[in-house]
Amino acid sequence: MSKNRLLLLSNSKNPEEDYLRHAEAAIIDFLGKDLKRVLFIPFARVLPSFADFAAPVRASFETMGYALDSVHELSDQLDAVTKAEAIVMGGGNTFHLLHMLYGTGLLNVIRMRVRDGIPYIGWSAGSNVACPTIKTTNDMPILEPQSFDALGLVPFQINPHYTDCHPPALRGETREERIAEFVEVNPGVYVVGLREGSMLRIEGSVVKLLGKGGARVFKKGRTPTDFTAEDSLQFLLSSVSACGTTD
The residues annotated with a catalytic role in the active site are 124, 139, 161
Classify 117 in phi/psi space as left (phi over 0), alpha (psi -120 to 50) or beta. Answer: left
Residue 126: name the closest of 20, 226, 204 by CA.
Answer: 20
Q: Please, are residues 183 and 191 in contact by the beta-carbon 8 Å criterion?
A: yes
Residue 45 identity (one-letter amino acid): R
- HEC string of 3-23 equals CCEEEEECCCCCCCCCCCHHH
Residue 39 identity (one-letter amino acid): L
Helix (H, G, I), strand (E, B) or coil at 85: coil
